[in-house]
Amino acid sequence: MKVYSTWCTKEKEEARSLKAVPFCSRPTTKNMALTIKQETIEAIRQHGARDYPNECCGILLGQAEGDMKKVLEAVPLRNLRTDPAEAQKLLPLESPGKESERNRFLIDPREQMRVEKEARARGVDVVGYYHSHPDHPARPSNYDRDHAWPWYSYVILSVAKGQPTDLTSWVLAENREQFDSETVEIL
């Protein structure tokens, strides 16, 4: 089993030099971990490459055991932001000229409910979500924080010029002030 930390010295230095917001500037202090199979990681990477230059998105299904979440399946979903009129009805963007499917994603609530219902019927739960950051680092943005929920794992895949690169996982703190990095264990 490979174990990857989602936080590295380079990111710390980059965050300091850019005066990044506090929720991205420190590693986790908790023993949280996300286990995921290599083939599931590859499916997420392929989804990110396929949807480039737009953000891809999906739901992570699995089981939680203490501080460990085990991903059994990644369910790819359509980024509803690729249909701007429909997306604006559900969750209007603050700056439509600056925000688009290239730097925002939106999961159709009907699709989310369908996936959750099917998961419950199979005895698994939603343990997190994933999305890509085209031509941007695999760390959460303010927008990501504003639209996340505590406890869930948020896997972010960086896709540079169409090629998947770094993959990280984050958990929003209970006070919603920051994301904590989460160790990803690849089985």
Give per-residue pLDDT as tens, 101-146: 788 899 999 999 999 999 999 999 999 999 999 999 999 999 999 9
> How much is the average pLDDT of 61-71?
93
pTM for the full model?
0.81
Q: DSSP letter at 151?
A: T
Q: Which residues pair with 150 in a beta bridge?
A: 172
Nearest Cα to 72, choosing from 123, 17, 139, 142?
123
| 137 secondary structure, DSSP code | -
Inform me whether the pLDDT recorded for 86 exceeds 90.
no
Element (H, E) at 61: strand 57-65
How far apart (Å, rounded) are the C-alpha atoms in residues 168 and 110?
A: 27
Residue 21, token pair as written in the block: 């917001």
What are the residues whose beta carbons fall under 8 Å from the beta carbon of 112, sequence distance 6 or more?
A: 59, 77
Flag whether pLDDT at 18 surpasses 70. no
Instruction: Quote the pLDDT of residue 162.
Output: 97
Residue 179 C-alpha from the chain's centroid:
11
Instruction: Kindly state the average pLDDT of the residues 6-32.
Output: 38
**How many domains does one find in the chain?**
1
CA distances from 9 to 14, 26, 107 (A): 9, 10, 33
What pLDDT, on a 0 to 100 scale, did the predictor assign at position 31? Answer: 62
Range of the domain at 72: 2-186
Helices (H), the chain: 9-17, 38-51, 84-90, 109-122, 142-146
Domain with residue 54: its CATH number is: 3.40.140.10
**Checking phi first, is residue 151 left (phi over 0); if not, alpha (psi -120 to 50) or beta?**
left
